[in-house]
């Protein structure tokens, strides 16, 4: 078993993205300021992730097909699994996510968990917004969140019930 990360970088239209995988699963896709790893290993999986990200940014990929893994509590896993299911070009609210996981009182915990997502874009935490349609919190800045949502709207057409 390989216990070291394979690390790659992708220069996206909205910033540099660092991709990490371990044991044949993507474990982080993060916006970063600069390449910081001295040793990069462009594994087959990381190259596939970059390919799929390029397709996403070109507007031709609406869903990712990559093995992913994040360390988290059972609650966090439930939240991330629900976030993963939000369709391309659609949005949901924190309260709706809390309802879907069966704990309507957990709205704040859902928001905190969403903010701890380490697999940006693929686990589309940018698709979670305020109940009133406002853009709230995004670990990499509201400008990126707004860009991603507008990009998806542009490439998906109208979606019934979209909040944003």
User: Using one digit for the tens of pLDDT, what is the confidence trace for 100-115?
Assistant: 999 889 999 999 999 9
- Do 54 and 78 lie in one domain? The reply is no
- Do 99 and 145 lie in one domain? The reply is yes
Can you give the CATH number for the domain in which 133 is found? Answer: 1.10.10.10
Q: How confident is the model at residue 72 (pLDDT cuts 50, 70, 90)?
A: very high
Q: For position 57, what pLDDT does the model report?
A: 97
- Do 85 and 52 lie in one domain? The reply is no
The DSSP bridge partners found for residue 28 are 20
pLDDT tens, position by position, 43-58: 999 999 999 999 999 9
- Do 44 and 93 lie in one domain? The reply is no
- Do 12 and 40 lie in one domain? The reply is yes
- Do 145 and 80 lie in one domain? The reply is yes
Q: Is residue 30 part of a domain?
A: yes
Mean pLDDT of 69-96: 95
**Range of the structural domain that residue 37 is part of:** 6-58
Q: Is residue 37 part of a domain?
A: yes
- Do 150 and 78 lie in one domain? The reply is yes
- Do 134 and 80 lie in one domain? The reply is yes
154 CA to centre of own chain: 18
Q: For position 160, what pLDDT does the model report?
A: 65
- Do 53 and 80 lie in one domain? The reply is no
**Which long-range contacts (C-beta less than 8 Å, at least 24 apart) are formed by 109-113?**
109/75, 109/79, 110/79, 111/136, 111/137, 113/72, 113/75, 113/76, 113/79, 113/80
pLDDT at 1 over 50: no
| Close Cβ partners of 12 (under 8 Å, ≥ 6 residues apart) | 53, 57
Q: How many domains is the chain partitioned into structurally? A: 2
Q: Is residue 102 part of a domain?
A: yes
Q: Is residue 65 part of a domain?
A: no
The mean pLDDT value of the chain amounts to 91
Q: Is residue 64 part of a domain?
A: no
- Do 87 and 145 lie in one domain? The reply is yes
The three-state secondary structure class of 25 is: strand
CA–CA distance, 124 with 81 (Å, rounded to integer): 10
Instruction: Return the structure tokens found at 18.
Output: 């660092």
Catalytic residue among 125, 128, 148, 149: 125
125 is catalytic: yes
Q: For position 158, what pLDDT does the model report?
A: 65
pLDDT tens, position by position, 114-136: 999 999 999 999 999 988 888 88
- Do 80 and 38 lie in one domain? The reply is no
- Do 78 and 135 lie in one domain? The reply is yes
Q: Is residue 1 part of a domain?
A: no
Q: Phi and psi (nearest 5°) for 47? A: -65, -40
Q: Is residue 88 part of a domain?
A: yes
Structural contact between residues 31 and 122, judged by C-beta atoms closer than 8 angstroms: no
């Amino acid at each position: 078993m390989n216990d070291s990360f394979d690390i790659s970088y992708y220069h996206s239209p909205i910033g540099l993205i660092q991709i990490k995988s371990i044991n044949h699963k993507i474990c982080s896709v993060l916006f970063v300021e600069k390449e910081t790893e001295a040793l990069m290993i462009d594994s087959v999986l990381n190259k596939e992730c970059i390919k799929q990200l390029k397709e996403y940014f070109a507007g031709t990929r609406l869903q990712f097909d990559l093995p992913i893994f994040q360390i988290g509590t059972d609650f966090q896993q439930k939240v991330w699994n629900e976030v993963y299911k939000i369709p391309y070009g659609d949005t949901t609210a924190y309260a709706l996510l809390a309802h879907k996981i069966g704990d309507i009182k957990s709205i704040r915990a859902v928001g905190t968990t969403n903010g701890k997502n380490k697999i940006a874009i693929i686990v589309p935490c940018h698709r979670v917004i305020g109940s009133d349609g406002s853009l709230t919190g995004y670990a990499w800045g509201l400008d990126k969140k707004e860009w991603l949502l507008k990009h998806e709207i542009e490439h998906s057409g109208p979606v019934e019930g979209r909040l944003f």
